[in-house]
Structure 1
């Protein structure tokens, strides 16, 4: 079980270095421990090692896209209850429906704001409260 005061582990999977960096900065400021991955294959190895409590995954990535990555995470008995939030610059009905089919918990449109990221975490991770600064 998590120790009290332990940072929330969040994984961000995106082939864009800019998006990974932006999400890492925004989430770190909120007191989260951020693990990043460049694509689905990279993520699958890291998920087992780090066991994040919530995962943000880009839909459009080479090799293993966000839908495939989400489906693989949700098919794994250890991680099937881990919330997966899809990120995409496309927010069409088809994209959102396909996200639900593979088991995603939410769909965020890029570019996202810090509030949208934190609201998604609050909606899916019980007891999460963002810290605006770290206590000494």
Structure 2
């Protein structure tokens, strides 16, 4: 499935403490017609999630205050968001990191730096997952 075959606009939250990563993801996803929400850390993300109920979440692992694993676990602990796919978005790509992401509830793992194609392929793969 290509980016152009995504059936509808998806509301996507990108959580990353890097302004560059947030802007890149916002540009790639926005150009593909998706609604993009941004948060610079896990605490800010929890407020955005409560207010906007995103369909898909990309979450950095290495963030100050509340890391991506903790953020993902908190999202998944809420029954309302248990079915919402969370993709760990990180430079950490070891088997340990991937396993830890799965254990906290992540659906996928996308390694930084990511390409536009890889980001949109991830959206396409998870957009059809019922929320």
TM-score, normalised to structure 2's length? 0.90
Aligned to 1:104: 106
Cα RMSD over matched residues? 1.3
Aligned to 2:27: 25
> Which structure: larger Rg?
1
User: Deviation at 1:18?
Assistant: 0.4
Aligned to 1:58: 60
Listed as ranges, the gaps of 5+ residues in structure 1 are 128-136
Aligned to 1:86: 88
Listed as ranges, the gaps of 5+ residues in structure 2 are 1-6
Runs of at least 4 residues off by over 2 Å: none
Matches of 1:12 and 1:74, distance apart in 2: 16
Matches of 2:84 and 2:120, distance apart in 1: 16
TM-score, normalised to structure 1's length? 0.87
Matches of 2:29 and 2:9, distance apart in 1: 11
Aligned to 1:132: none
Task: Indicate the SS of the match to 1:49.
Answer: helix
Structure number with the bigger relative contact order (C-alpha 8 A, sep ≥ 6) is 2
Name whichever structure is richer in helix by fraction. 2
Q: For this pair of structures, how many residues does the alignment match?
A: 123
User: Deviation at 1:56?
Assistant: 0.1
Deviation digits for residues 84-119 of structure 1, max 9, x if unmatched? 000111101100010011010000100001111111
> Residue 13 of structure 1: which of 12, 15, 27 is its match?
15
Task: Indicate the SS of the match to 1:98.
Answer: helix
Aligned to 1:131: none
Matches of 1:70 and 1:58, distance apart in 2: 10
